[in-house]
Structure 1
């Protein structure tokens, strides 16, 4: 039953043979064979993806949108000119398509259709970016190259953030309760303009840089990766984003669990039962010591548990109450995707003086946009993605293939970003959303169809 729920045994080649939609694949196959440029199709796609991650922290969302349109157009060109026999579809792709279909229905039934259409266009661009990345990242070389570009850019972002900590940074908004003990803290935001957004951006950077310590083979790259991990982690902590800290801890916890699992088969048999308890105890000790002896950390953590006495907590609680009312009125299919649709409907429900641009929770945002149908599909997508990633980690662990550490980082990042997303929706900003779909695409890129020999290593495409 679990295999059926997680779509583990689907035979997509059978679907391809009967699908009218799939018949568009290969329409320009003859033209592609004669094209000199498309002989380099995958490297060109990886270049487009790398440009998105290289400029995202520094440019406007409008320019990022233009680049996403270019990525979408290039994926469409590759798809209609591809060989029909090449496996392109995974269970993750299927659920992404299902979620997009639900969002399309939500748009058609939205009370603010024009605004919802704008949100649907943005969602479509993100999903087509995912489709392009899942394709080009099948190559081990291109996967490492794209991840390397993101890590170098995140290092620049983190270095500038740490510089703000030492030399001061003007608060561009009221990020801390002025009545709290942490009111005078400098919260860094680097090039992203918001400490919560920066924290959401750095969670995947932390996980991928830590994975690079294991995945990169030479000592100099390993030293660079370790430097990236330390700098990214320090910058994330200095954002003093409580949601970011929750995501950071969840990310490192899952990463540690999976690394212990990875190396457990190499430990002496008498040590194996103690490996996981030792890791869990060490993690708990580090967190407890940080809370007890680092005053800024203690103050920020304590503010999580004071309820409405903290202005940020009180603000979120009032927004959540209004969003729950919105969901109650349209529980099945929601109001339609996008912040524009939310901004037009939310004022009808908001509490006085508590304006908001989003639901301040990923799961509430999904529910208010696409209803419980969309939320169910989103949760199904998460289950299938993480299950697929764990299966692939188990396979690569048996083969001792260090490429498995990118999967560990992807799963840890997904858990970390979702943990952060419980209390924030920076996930919907393009700088963060593109990285989220990179994590999903990394897992999808390792896919092997069920009929493939499970003893075969993941090969370069």
Structure 2
């Protein structure tokens, strides 16, 4: 029973060999063999991904949707014409389960047409995930895609720092107007919202930190170090409390994984004390930073101000209304997407507290797909981290450079989940595409137990 929960020992790579449906696809495979373009399809898919992640902060949502649609269509074409073999992972199974629950929630939604819009958006993101999980099995493709994302994040961060130096017009009331920080500049760069910018930069900090160890030669390493510093400073200057929570969580996870990765070289004494020493040092640094920087201290303390802070009070009122919605739709929710939410939420909202989302990813998933949807999502996250951890231990024995990308993906997911406790910025395509990039990156490392032999993963 436990093996079916964790998918240990389940031969997913052999499924298509005995699938009746796959046998009917013979004409597609013969067509692919005669095609001059499809042998390069993985690199075409990488080109679509490079374009998407390079343009994400600058272009409109419809254009990003077109690129995601192209990614999903290419994946479907490749899958229909594939020979039986690898590609299916436990993460794929749970992703499809999550989509199935959302589809059922749409079918049973009290606002079906609105929920269908949300399901379409989710499907576009999953199409991107499916293509990336295939393309990123090549280490060179991983390196190129992460490089483009980091260069884009660097440009976004530089513009954000420029806003901090020269000032930026607040596009909304982002700080409690009664606090001493009411006139403080909160940067938002090209994304138009400081919380969204923080959500976009949390994975960038993780990947740029990992790049210091992955990229060869000193000049690229110096570039990675600069990227890490610039994106970190920009994230902090967003003054996004949720972003800070995500940053701290991601940093803790990444450093813990790196120390565990290096512990193969430690003496028995250091193996015992390395992680406690790391946790103690990081805690001390955070306390000193909060106590030493007045703006940081005030912003952090506002987290614990309860309803005395206007942002906290707003979220608490929204969460109370969302809990009432969940109580009335506990099993499969109201259906996915902000359109469905916007039609049902006004029936439950507290006076003067209008909202476009639940301001918590976990509450949002629960209100969209009920407790069944939340359970499937948590199962997906658990399986992803389990698969990532298992593959990381295999790479650790070789001290492979590609292991650092895997650590960054796991840490980035942890940071986004921590940020998601108090915000829902990752439903915006600039951030949601990063979540599915990290999911796909972890899935791309998967190897069936029968294929656990030294491979191209050691390449950087």
Structure 2 length as normaliser, TM-score? 0.97
Unaligned residue ranges in structure 1 (runs of 5+): none
Matched with 2:231 is 232
Deviations 1:298-345 (A, max 9, x none): 000000001000000000000000000111101001111111000001
Q: Are 2:402 and 2:458, in contact at CA under 8 Å, matched by a contact in 1?
A: no
Secondary structure of the structure 2 residue equivalent to 1:331: coil
Matched with 1:352 is 351
Query: How big is the shift at 1:4?
Result: 3.9
| 2:445 is equivalent to residue 434 of structure 1 | no
Query: How big is the shift at 1:414?
Result: 0.5
Matched with 2:54 is 54
Matched with 2:276 is 277
Q: Are 2:194 and 2:239, in contact at CA under 8 Å, matched by a contact in 1?
A: yes
Matched with 1:71 is 71
| 2:374 is equivalent to residue 375 of structure 1 | yes
Distance across 2 between alignment mates of 1:93 and 1:26: 23
| 2:246 is equivalent to residue 247 of structure 1 | yes
Distance across 2 between alignment mates of 1:19 and 1:364: 38
Deviations 1:274-318 (A, max 9, x none): 211221111001100011010111000000001000000000000
Query: How big is the shift at 1:271?
Result: 2.4
Matched with 2:111 is 112
Matched with 2:81 is 81
Distance across 2 between alignment mates of 1:319 and 1:146: 37
Distance across 2 between alignment mates of 1:23 and 1:235: 53
Distance across 1 between alignment mates of 2:170 and 2:380: 37
Cα separation, partners in 2 of 1:14 and 1:356, compared to 1, 3 Å: same
Greater mean alpha carbon deviation, residues 269-278 or residues 132-141: 269-278
Cα separation, partners in 2 of 1:402 and 1:24, compared to 1, 3 Å: farther
Query: How big is the shift at 1:457?
Result: 5.9
Query: How big is the shift at 1:358?
Result: 0.4
Once the two structures are superposed, the pairs formed by residues 360-371 of structure 1 within 5 Å of their partners are 360-371=359-370
Deviations 1:121-175 (A, max 9, x none): 0000000100000000000001100111101001000000010000000000111
Query: How big is the shift at 1:413?
Result: 0.5
Matched with 1:138 is 137
Matched with 1:199 is 198
Q: Are 1:25 and 1:79, in contact at CA under 8 Å, matched by a contact in 2?
A: no
Query: How big is the shift at 1:79?
Result: 1.2
Distance across 2 between alignment mates of 1:143 and 1:128: 18
Matched with 1:45 is 45
Secondary structure of the structure 2 residue equivalent to 1:28: helix
Secondary structure of the structure 2 residue equivalent to 1:355: coil
Greater mean alpha carbon deviation, residues 131-140 or residues 63-72: 63-72
Structure 1 length as normaliser, TM-score? 0.97
Greater mean alpha carbon deviation, residues 166-175 or residues 10-19: 10-19
Secondary structure of the structure 1 residue equivalent to 2:439: helix
Q: Are 1:27 and 1:80, in contact at CA under 8 Å, matched by a contact in 2?
A: no
Deviations 1:10-37 (A, max 9, x none): 1114432444554565541112112111
Distance across 1 between alignment mates of 2:26 and 2:129: 20
Secondary structure of the structure 1 residue equivalent to 2:39: helix
Cα separation, partners in 2 of 1:26 and 1:379, compared to 1, 3 Å: farther
Matched with 2:393 is 394
Q: Are 1:26 and 1:82, in contact at CA under 8 Å, matched by a contact in 2?
A: no
Deviations 1:408-433 (A, max 9, x none): 00010010000000000001000000
Matched with 1:449 is 448
Aligned length: 459
Unaligned residue ranges in structure 2 (runs of 5+): none
Secondary structure of the structure 1 residue equivalent to 2:157: helix
Secondary structure of the structure 1 residue equivalent to 2:400: coil
Matched with 1:221 is 220
Q: Are 2:13 and 2:87, in contact at CA under 8 Å, matched by a contact in 1?
A: no
Matched with 2:332 is 333
Cα separation, partners in 2 of 1:276 and 1:173, compared to 1, 3 Å: same
Matched with 2:150 is 151
Cα separation, partners in 2 of 1:353 and 1:213, compared to 1, 3 Å: same
Q: Are 2:400 and 2:458, in contact at CA under 8 Å, matched by a contact in 1?
A: no
| 2:257 is equivalent to residue 258 of structure 1 | yes
Distance across 1 between alignment mates of 2:61 and 2:26: 33
Deviations 1:23-66 (A, max 9, x none): 56554111211211112111110010111101110011111111
Matched with 2:34 is 34
Secondary structure of the structure 1 residue equivalent to 2:265: coil
Matched with 1:416 is 415
Greater mean alpha carbon deviation, residues 307-316 or residues 269-278: 269-278
